[in-house]
Amino acid sequence: MVSARRAAGFTLPELMAVLAIIAVLSAMAAPSFGSMIAAQRTKGAASDLFTALTRTRSEAIKRNTEVSLTPASTGWQGGWHIPNPADTGNLLDDHGPLTALTVSGPASVVYLANGRLKGATLPSFELAAGDTTARCIKIDLSGRPFQTATACAAP
């Protein structure tokens, strides 16, 4: 009867040893999870901004008029919106604030009816979470945005 009880479970020292091993492995993995979360946060925000730029260009072509993408009153970290050019009281798209990210970019991006940019300078956006995770979104001469998994190079 004694041998049947021992086979039924774990002893307290065995359980404590397993918990100690799990704690050590978790402590080693925690920093890499932090950087992974920061990278995913940056990638997600860059994807959202890329989509907003593509939609702004598409709306300009579809409506045959100028359409702009503008930051929130607090800057690009506060989000962005696409005002409806035909009805200024309504928005075509509205994105909320970004958390734990820094975003640098132009004052606004305006697309012409042909899908090209208004102005002579090509805008770029840099999104970063901390010092190690950055993404760059640039707009080429045709008005199409593209993104890279690195920081924007200085002109």
| Closest among 74, 80, 123, 78 to 98, alpha carbons compared | 78
Residue 101 lies in a domain: yes
**pLDDT value of residue 6:** 54
Residue 41 lies in a domain: yes
* Average pLDDT across the chain, whole number: 89
- Residue 154 gets which letter from DSSP? P
Residue 19 lies in a domain: no
- Answer yes or no: are the C-beta atoms of 121 and 155 closer than 8 Å: no
Residue 153 lies in a domain: no
**pLDDT value of residue 7:** 63
Answer yes or no: pTM beyond 0.85: no
Residue 8 lies in a domain: no
- Answer yes or no: are the C-beta atoms of 143 and 52 closer than 8 Å: no
DSSP 72-139: ETTEEEEEEEEE-SS-TTSEEEEE---SS-EEE--S-EEE-TTSPBSSSSPPEEEEEETTTEEEEEEE
Residue 106 lies in a domain: yes
What domain count does the chain have?
A: 1
- pLDDT by residue (tens digit) across 21-79? 999 988 887 777 778 888 899 999 999 999 999 999 999 999 999 999 999 999 999 99
Can you give the CATH number for the domain in which 112 is found? 3.55.40.10
Bigger pLDDT: 26 vs 127: 127
Residue 17 lies in a domain: no
Domain extent at residue 62? 33-148
**pLDDT value of residue 10:** 83
Q: How far, in Å, CA of 80 to CA of 133, rounded?
A: 21
- pLDDT by residue (tens digit) across 100-117? 899 999 999 999 999 999
Residue 21 lies in a domain: no
